[in-house]
Structure 1
């Protein structure tokens, strides 16, 4: 009986193996004589695959009467084929098998064996390492498959990974943010730190979904996960220092000095950063993030930081997140300044239009020290504690100079004029007769901000069933500001002018504290439930003393002395909030997750508010409900999709519902609106992701629909005799937006890559046309419908070889705006087509980019037309690539201009800003990269 059971088990096992083989990868081809083309019958094909280190699987087959063969494998891994026959040289090919879930067939085509008198004398090996492979549910990127220059940084490698992109300073894959890790631990220093590390340290880069701490305790997937890009470091590269020192001179008389040092370690990583420059760069490097941006149009800065982390494990918790203690201290200072020119057209209903031109010069001095400490630790195998403490101080000094003019015109008969011409116009000039107002304003202010923030949490894991946690934070902040305004105003239609001196002192103090409890529990293996209740209290006290004078005799040392009761204000606000959230994860089958969520928010606000003549105490209690649902379907390792729906309610700020009247700027008056109502919106999104591993294709599809209900817009009232605008918030008819996106990325062979990111948007929104000379409080303003069709595309086709890299690109932004009144219609277009090229002739590297930037459809004529934009660099590496000397030239033809535009249902504005361009810089960099010890 025992032998019978054993035989039955063997038969069933063989059946399962046969079933797996039928569904496995297939490799086929035809073997012929290389010299005569004669088919070779009975030639032997042997395969060897290594699915795991230390063991291999071997299979064999023979060609049939037509010289053809087919060989299947159900395992995953690097596979080597040997083709042999007596009297012929062996031939070998290396490929990759992707396991039972990928059922593609690889056709080797015709394999030619060379006849020889000596068997196995020579061996031909053809090997191609794929960019992407799979290991279970983990996507593995192979660094050796990407062409990189010697000494390349990790960020250069990551930029080449199929499907990976950087948006707004963050890395994304499949439209989802990436959490950077190294050897399974969070990358100390954040995403930007990868620019310091050499690409050589990476053995593999793994992309996977990291389960939540609860999921790893219970063994059940609760759907809470991070998309991780995990850098696997090669042996011998840890516990060593990496970094660089850089010195740069830039025309005219600009400099930059920078020093980076980073210790790469699993246990005690450290980071030190210092910089000083007057080239308009501000770099802020802390233990978990990095900011690298322009200060303004121009600027200078100094910054330094030191960051340290210690990692360890409590006994019995090595399978969970590591314990860690972080501390960071940094000190930053910058000065920034810029000049911005702006033109604004305001739409009226069948009335005179206005066109305003303005220029703003601003300067800001900022000084900001900051300290932060964080702790996360397991006290034992089922309890964790975490504490975060932040303390910061910021002192800033700002100045603003504004010049502006507004004038009217008849539609389709307007000729644009410069601001200087409008300010210089005199009585009798044709332009002067059209002018409504002119103004000059000088503002200076000093401000101090102080902030202390402490966050704390305790979590207890209840066996395999769930957890209970307490979390909270306390924040204390203070702000004070002193501001001087000096305004010169001309009301040309009324033929009068005035000078106004203003001063106000504002003080703000705030205390916020929050405490919440969460209970998570698994009901069996398929249903997870999370119940959270958060209680928050905040107290805010804001006061502002305001002084205004029109008579210079009352101004002492530039400060007015007459109290302005109309703009003096105070507000003492108490807010109690309770948020109850219920969410669940339901897993009817392994591949499908359904995640509903419902939040109930109760908010009670009390305000003692005084603004001018308004003195009131208001109490408001509001309740909002926010349901949502998220469906995630992982059809296979290479194909997944998700669908979500969320409904949100926005309660207007309590102060905006008061009937206050702000006349600080006499030309632009702001008022509250007691009739404001809640706004609502709901959003539905769909994402589909697919990979064809053998063809190295990554495809992403996305679609979303957003509906706004009672959104808040701005209603302008205009006095044609004074040129004064008065605005207040009001609810308008809701609009909607539909978005479709397509991301395609393909590696074509070893050297070519095709990438295209396409987005199509169609939107509808409403806004109020400006009310003109209407004092009737019951007047119903006219709505103006705006319809927008937008297309964005980013196309690249590149060739990447060892010494040459070429990329053809096209970047398109086009919008079609349509209104009820066709005279407002416009079609702004921006398109940049060009090429960039890199030539590596060691020790030199040359780079150049040339593009034709074309704009059309803008009201500002200087924005339209073709502009040839180009920049280039050449670098020389020496001292075994540790040193590099580089020359960079920006905007060679001096054509680039920074433009911006904004379109609404009631207004159209276009602006240009100064910034540093058309320069040359010479830089020297020394890198001290560690090297692995040779065995």
Structure 2
């Protein structure tokens, strides 16, 4: 029987091989009238039977093209198209191994364009100046695909596991729907929630503000904008999704989004809640809806953000609540409105512990010209719980007075309420592990914050040579009221043993009034090519902060004793004036922007509690901003930038007030500080070869910091620190890397995609300890390799591996260099067999051999099963999170003169059963016929 099966399999394999047709089709595209080569013409091959796109490419600078691949249909049709030219088509009969040279193909000028007849191109890709346009129906995906699934199929486009998108290595920071924002500037809401079936075209351009687009300026060369064009017949109706799930360990999630599109009018609402560390945008349906977000980042103050929007919360286990609405419409000619409301709430709990080993050089008491090594240790632990509620409302109103005059008004209002409980304990031990001091505290805090900000942009163009004048005005008002209760104990051991107990209440009142404006004028020297720019920037931020601390009085049994040492009352004003002059040069393949100016900055501080500490400081420094863009004939692009900025010290760093909030580290400002001078350089190079389906991206950048402001600390025998600030030279940072990706079409069903790259970064930090300058230089290099195998969109296997090598060196001879190696392996799989069942796995392995005291290695495995029901409108899901129950976030950091190992609370294994249902009434009435010429 086994032999029989083997023979049958062998016969089938020969049969399949006999039915495959390997081909190579070449030619040259030229304009019929001028006989000149046409660069960036689209050439694609379709099945003659059902118009399925088999292969495509773009002609090079000489008009040449080459199509290679293997198909299972011998009758195919070749199409050639270019904007402004008539389409060329040819039916081709393939042999088993075809090598076909079509010679020169001449394209005629399209008379329909002259007659303003709209023709819908069937080309998969069209290049229009700086815009790359993809025809959605040319890229096949699974039946229930969203926009994110579609983007992953486009050449040069990468979408990582968090939903962050890059195009030829450049980040996508904005996604528009029919040219308008969709739920603000969070790209993932559009990509994870809009269905592929309603989209007609995807356009990719450099990111521009509305004012830049209106004035004709170049956009941001390092960021991309994607515009999703909805089919006309699909731009009226309702669509959305509802889902919920519950699981073990009391885990749950629920969310919904409802959209109403009616041509230029668009209205959407969403809501969600979960306790699985997602920002309220999570569904069990394998991230098809809302998903786990784009670029989730956590901060030390307990908040986290996604797509630039703050959701509050913290490390540890987070329960989130989210609701929002967006509205877009046009009112008459030239008036465009977009409005968004978001509510985001969260509750978080976290336990953290960390260990540090300090190595410090100090002066020898017996011989001041010599130094000795001081080693000591700290152990810290904390637990926290936080409640956070945030409401935000923003509006974007465009008023186009006429074709030369645009006004944009963008008000934003935010209301935040926050309460938290924080308990911590810290102990310091000497080199013999003997306890020298300890600190423990329990803090309860609450705050209410209001923020209003409004920006008005006015743009006026003059003539047809590129002249314009622009004005931007922003005003801001912030108000924060808070209350903190602190109960702490500070103990010092040894010969001068002491104990200090604090029981205090602090009332906080903080206000900020800000005003910023920028005036710009551009005068053409050579029409639309060479310009002189005049700019003036002015800003003022006035901040008032009152912190009133009261000690508990045992007599009155209330917080009535005012503590001057722990209280502040000051008004701080930061005034900046910057005139600039520059030039702009725009050519077909070369662009230059150069601006130079003088920044005049005044810092004023009026201290009501300590009038002797009031100060006024003036700083005058040069500012430079330069940008160069160059496009090679091969379509490769080079970008170079240089910036010189001067950053003034903060009021905390300048004011000679001793902050004794933490008695083990007393901090005092230095009024003699100078501004730091930051030189920043960035270079990028990218190229995508349409012929070979390969892309290369190279980038490098760095900062050199002169007069950088550093900590100057003295440590006593009791290990109590006193800190101030000094200027120092020699600090720097750098980053860079390269990536290469290539797609290989094995046959009409199978595709292999390679991604390889290298990241490198490093920095030198400086601090002064006991009058000895300590320099810490860290260098890291991380090679990585990724492979994706895709068979008929039914089986996808994606292994990825990277290893990070890190070296930290010290300028002190007797401090040993530190070397760290971290291995990461990730394997993702997806199968759609049988058709209605989808099974996904996400397996990660990390190995940290240098971490001390915590788990060095861990496997992390998530899996999801999804089964389609109700004619594919419903989905039942079963999700397993951390199946091996090994999730950990143990990490090691080398910072300055210490090594830290830390670990905090993480979400661990659970299983969840969920159900999702989608609805869609778009395009049910009437169809718009497409014509192909």
Counterparts in 2 of 1:686 and 1:54: CA distance versus 1, 3 Å: closer
Aligned to 2:645: 648
Query: Does 2:589 match 1:594?
Result: no
What's the C-alpha RMSD, in Å, of the aligned pairs? 3.5
CA distance in 1, matches of 2:227, 2:386: 40
Structure 1 337/712 Cα, relative in aligned 2: closer, same or farther at 3 Å?
same
**Map of 2:352 onto structure 1:** 340
8 A Cα contact 2:887 2:906, kept in partner: no
1:267 Cα shift? 0.7
1:180 maps onto 2:219 in alignment: no
Q: 1:762 to 1:924 in 2, by over 3 A?
A: closer
Once the two structures are superposed, what CA deviation does each residue of 1:890-922 show, in whole Å capped at 9, x if it has no partner? 111111201344322222222211021211111
Q: How far off its partner does 1:300 sit?
A: 2.3
Distance in 1, Cα, partners of 2:725 & 2:576? 25
Query: Which residue of structure 1 aligns with residue 731 of structure 2?
Result: 735
**Structure 1 residues 896, 481: closer, same or farther in 2, change over 3 A?**
same
Identify which range, 355-364 or 726-735, moves more after superposition.
726-735
**CA distances 1:315-367 after superposition (whole Å, capped 9, x unpaired):** xxxxxxx6411233333332222111112222211333111111111112223
Where do 1:749-898 residues align within 5 Å? Answer: 749=745, 751-756=750-755, 758-761=757-760, 763-768=762-767, 770-771=769-770, 781-801=771-791, 802-820=793-811, 821=813, 823-840=815-832, 841-858=834-851, 860-864=852-856, 866-898=857-889
CA separation of 1:807 and 1:852: change in aligned 2, threshold 3 A: same
- Tell me by how many angstroms 1:643 deviates: 1.4
Determine the structure 1 residue equivalent to 2:455: 455
The match for 1:542 is 545
| Cα separation, 2, equivalents of 1:288 and 1:768 | 34
Q: Does the CA-based 8 Å contact 1:375-1:386 persist in structure 2?
A: yes
Correspondence 1:41-120 to 2 at 5 A: 49-51=80-82, 55-57=86-88, 70-73=101-104
Out of 47-56 and 530-539, give the one that drifted further: 47-56
Query: Structure 2 CA distance, aligned partners of 1:590 and 1:136?
Result: 10
Pair 1:903-2:920 in alignment: no
Counterparts of 2:318 and 2:478, CA distance in 1? 28
Q: Distance in 1 between matches of 2:219 and 2:231?
A: 32
Give secondary structure in 1 for the equivalent of 2:148: helix
String of CA shifts for 1:640-674, please: whole Å, max 9, x gaps.
11112111111112442121101112222221122
- 145 and 697 in structure 1: CA distance in 2 versus 1, 3 angstrom threshold: farther
Partner of 2:525: 523
Q: Could you tell me which residue of structure 2 aligns to residue 441 of structure 1?
A: 441
Note closer, same or farther for the CA distance 1:546–1:379 as it changes in structure 2 (3 Å cut).
same
Per the TM alignment, residue 20 of structure 1 is displaced from its structure 2 partner at its CA by 7.0
Question: Residue 348 of structure 1: SS of its match in structure 2?
Answer: strand
- Tell me what 2:320 maps to: 301
Deviation at residue 807 of structure 1 after TM alignment: 0.9
User: Does residue 533 of the first structure (1) align with residue 526 of the second (2)?
Assistant: no
Report the CA distance between 1:176 and its aligned residue: 3.2
Measured after TM superposition, the shift of residue 222 of structure 1 is: 4.9
- Residue 269 of structure 1 and its aligned partner are, at CA, apart by 1.2
Map 1:206-605 → 2, pairs under 5 A: 206-209=203-206, 222=218, 227-283=224-280, 295-311=314-330, 314=333, 323-349=335-361, 350-409=372-431, 434-465=434-465, 466-493=467-494, 494-525=496-527, 526-548=529-551, 553-554=554-555, 556=557, 559-587=558-586, 589-605=587-603
After superposition, the Cα gap between the structure-2 partners of 1:855 and 1:288, relative to the gap in structure 1 and judged at 3 Å, is closer
- Any idea what the Cα deviations from partners look like across 1:487-515, whole Å, max 9, x if unmatched? 12222224443322122212112222234
Deviations 1:702-747 (A, max 9, x none): 12232121212222322222x3222222222323334331121211
* CA displacement, residues 352-406 of structure 1 (integer Å, 9 cap, x when unaligned): 3111111111112223333323311112222222222222222211111001211
Distance 2:32 2:143 in 1: 51
Distance in structure 1 (CA, Å) of the matches to 2:260 and 2:605: 52
Deviation at 1:295, TM superposition (A): 4.8
| Residue deviations 1:170-205 (CA, integer Å, cap 9, x gap) | 533244332322344444544122211112223332
TM-score, with length taken from structure 2: 0.80
Match of 1:8 in 2: none
User: CA offset at residue 872 of structure 1?
Assistant: 1.1
* 1:165–1:662 Cα change, 3 Å: farther
Structure 1: distance between partners of 2:93 and 2:799: 46
1:76 Cα deviation after fit: 8.1
SS, match of residue 150 in structure 2: helix
How many angstroms apart in 1 are the aligned matches of 2:894 and 2:262?
50
Please give the alpha-carbon distance, in whole angstroms, between the structure 1 residues aligned to 2:565 and 2:80: 83
C-alpha distance in 1, partners of 2:711/2:143?
56
How many Å separate the matches in 2 of 1:385 and 1:924?
Answer: 46
Task: Specify whether residues 50 and 524 from structure 1 end up closer, same or farther in structure 2 by C-alpha distance, changes over 3 A only.
Answer: closer
- Preserved contact between residue 545 and residue 568 of structure 1 (Cα < 8 Å): yes
Asked if structure 2 preserves the Cα contact closer than 8 Å seen for 1:24 and 1:73, the reply is no
* Aligned CA distance change for structure 1 residues 324 and 671 (closer, same or farther; 3 Å): same
Where do 5+ consecutive residues of structure 1 fail to align? Answer: 1-11, 30-44, 78-128, 315-321, 411-430, 772-780
Counterpart in the other structure of 1:24: 63
Q: Aligned-pair distance for 1:51?
A: 4.2
Q: How many angstroms apart in 2 are the aligned matches of 1:255 and 1:14?
A: 64
Q: Distance in 1 between matches of 2:847 and 2:31?
A: 67
- CA–CA distance in structure 2, aligned partners of residues 73 and 186 of structure 1: 44
Change (3 A) 1:289 1:283: farther
1:609 equivalent in structure 2: 607
Distance 1:71 1:13, change over 3 A: closer
Structure of larger gyration radius: 1
Aligned mates of 1:509, 1:197 — CA distance in 2: 41
Q: How many residues align?
A: 809
In structure 1, distance between residues paired with 2:559 and 2:909: 45
Query: Aligned pair in 2 of structure 1 residues 214, 499: CA closer, same or farther (>3 Å)?
Result: closer
**Contact 1:478 1:510 survives alignment (8 Å):** yes
Q: Give the aligned partner of residue 132 of structure 2.
A: 139
Quote the Cα distance in structure 2 between the aligned partners of 1:137 and 1:471. Answer: 27
How many Å separate the matches in 1 of 2:836 and 2:214?
Answer: 53
Could you tell me which residue of structure 1 aligns to residue 25 of structure 2? none
Q: Which has the higher contact order (CA 8 A, sep 6+)?
A: 2
CA gap of 1:834–1:658, structure 2 versus 1, over 3 A, is closer
CA distance in 2: counterparts of 1:507 and 1:867, whole angstroms: 46
Query: Which string of whole-angstrom CA distances, capped at 9 and with x for unpartnered residues, describes residues 580-635 of structure 1?
Result: 23232113x42111111123221223221256x67333112221211121110012
Please report how far the alpha carbon of residue 482 of structure 1 lies from its aligned counterpart in structure 2 after TM superposition: 1.4
Distance, in Å, in 1 between the alignment partners of 2:900 and 2:207 is 45
